[in-house]
Structure 1
Amino acid sequence: MNHWKYFDITHKEHIICNPTSMAKFDQLLSLLRLNKGDKVLEIATGKGELMTQLIERYGVSGVAVDLSPDHSRDARARFAERVPDADLTFLEMDGADYQPDEPESFDLTACLGASWIYNGHQGTLQALKGWTKPNGYVVVGEPYWLQEPAQEYLEMANLKRDLFATHLENVLIGQEMGLVPIYSIVSNHDDWDVYEGLNWYAGENYILNNPDDPDLPELTKRLREQKMEYLQYGRSTLGWAIYVFRKTEMRND
């Protein structure tokens, strides 16, 4: 079954495709105090809600990048409906292949939940840092281990222990490359339950309403295995946070 198809089906009910509540998302946006005309880059924009709200609130210009054909469709529709006159470029491409015209050219760079594009959290921060202006924001969303993962969980979820770090380590990784951590939003069990529950809801509705889809056996198996994976292990083992760093201007005094 196509990876993008599965993700599209299970995320039909999501406004943002990560386990952050809308209240926390709104709080994050209120702290990203940008000016009209500031430039924003978002890698893996998903359905485009972050970029859309930054344009609506602050009048920024933007570059949004996403590889998924389904989310690209949704993002384009959202941009056309809510910010039709924005100075916005949408690129349907692999974020790993994106290169801006100039380094250090964005006031805010973001990548929420797609650090695999740059081989992990550190690589993502390094890439975004290079594209961010001095004193600009670097915003990343990244899982972290709440506790040492059981081997059974790693095998069930097809994960490796070193794929993620702890919450503290996620902060320190940025700090050690000269970024200043200025805020983080941490998801709790309720946030995760809503995120995972919407996956189940959308997936089970699709199964009910599309009995002739040839991918249904694989979809059903995968969805129901992931329910058990989350309930048995993931809920107590895997966390999620959005980290806000500032790229400080180097001083020579």
Structure 2
Amino acid sequence: MEYNSPLGPEAEQKLISLLNLESNSQVLEVGCGNGKFLHSLMAAYDASVIGVDVDQALIDRAIDGANNKFDKMRYQFLCRSFESSDFASHSYDLLICNGASHAFGVSETQLINVAEQAGTLLKKGGLFLLGECYWKKVPPQAYLDFLGQPVTIYNDYKGNIDLVKEQGFSIIFATSSSQTDWDSFEWTRKLIAKQDLRADPTNSQLSSKLVKIDTWLDAYLKWGREHLGFGFYLFEKNTDGV
């Protein structure tokens, strides 16, 4: 999988084209994973990027993907949590959080936490690119029990926009993942797990992982595909903000 979210290649290119970053823009992505989005962004713009993720294997892939393609002065990929990092306030032209709002604390207020941090980190007029789940419609209690979360863990599609706007942002573009991208995201995880298990058939951890994926996919087919969506939102920090 390219991303830990249902972001397809067409949506990726659309979002990148909308950024219109100036030369030497400073970009921070929290939960950057394998760095794919930042690689694509550096190919499109003369920007300097920092990617942060807690998974060392993904950070290694991000570094490998950037080496020999971009000037090393243009990128940093750091294995650390956002909470343990110390990023300068009002220093970034773009903050990206794509399927990583949990990095700011898993709670009913996690999206507020993300937006507040974005307001602190971004320059006036800076951009905030958010990828976030939303409810297409009210989910059944059985699905919430499976997730182990209250219904308030997510908003509806417009609710995500309204919440971030309340933190001092203006919305300038919004879209959502296609069903094809969602399906590809979910089923690719199983295909990769099966491939890994074929290469190492006695690995009990891989076997357990595949069982968990099958359980998740069953819930996706039963509830998730109908009730859960994923939105991509581009905000601008209001110029009258701090």
TM exceeding 0.5: yes
Structure 2 equivalent of residue 87 of structure 1: 74
* Partner residue of 2:130 out of 114, 129, 140: 140
Aligned AA (2:25): D
Gaps of 5+ in 1: 1-13
Q: Spell out, residue by residue over 1:83-133, the C-alpha distance to the aligned partner (whole angstroms, 9 max, x if none).
A: 244421221100122221x31011111111111121311111111111000
Q: Distance in 2 between matches of 1:81 and 1:196?
A: 32
2:28 is the counterpart of 1:41: yes
2:197 is the counterpart of 1:207: yes
Aligned AA (2:102): W
Structure 2 equivalent of residue 238 of structure 1: 228
Aligned AA (1:241): G
Structure 2 equivalent of residue 67 of structure 1: 54
* Partner residue of 1:108 out of 72, 79, 94: 94
2:63 is the counterpart of 1:76: yes
The Cα shift of 1:157 comes to 2.8
Aligned length: 237
Two-structure CA RMSD over aligned residues (Å): 1.5
Larger mean Cα displacement after TM superposition, 200-209 or 188-197: 200-209
Between the aligned residues of both structures, percent identity stands at 24
Runs of 4+ aligned residues of structure 1 deviating over 4 Å after TM superposition are: none
The Cα shift of 1:225 comes to 0.4
Structure 2 equivalent of residue 9 of structure 1: none
2:31 is the counterpart of 1:31: no
- C-alpha contact 1:157 1:229 (8 A) present in aligned 2: no
Aligned AA (2:197): I
Gaps of 5+ in 2: none
Give the TM-score normalised by structure 2: 0.93
2:45 is the counterpart of 1:58: yes
Aligned AA (1:130): T
Secondary structure of 2:171 counterpart: strand
The Cα shift of 1:185 comes to 2.4
Secondary structure of 1:159 counterpart: coil
Q: Distance in 1 between matches of 2:133 and 2:56?
A: 24
- C-alpha contact 2:94 2:122 (8 A) present in aligned 1: yes
2:212 is the counterpart of 1:225: no
The Cα shift of 1:217 comes to 3.8
- C-alpha contact 1:61 1:88 (8 A) present in aligned 2: yes
Q: Spell out, residue by residue over 1:207-240, the C-alpha distance to the aligned partner (whole angstroms, 9 max, x if none).
A: 2322111213421320110110111111001110
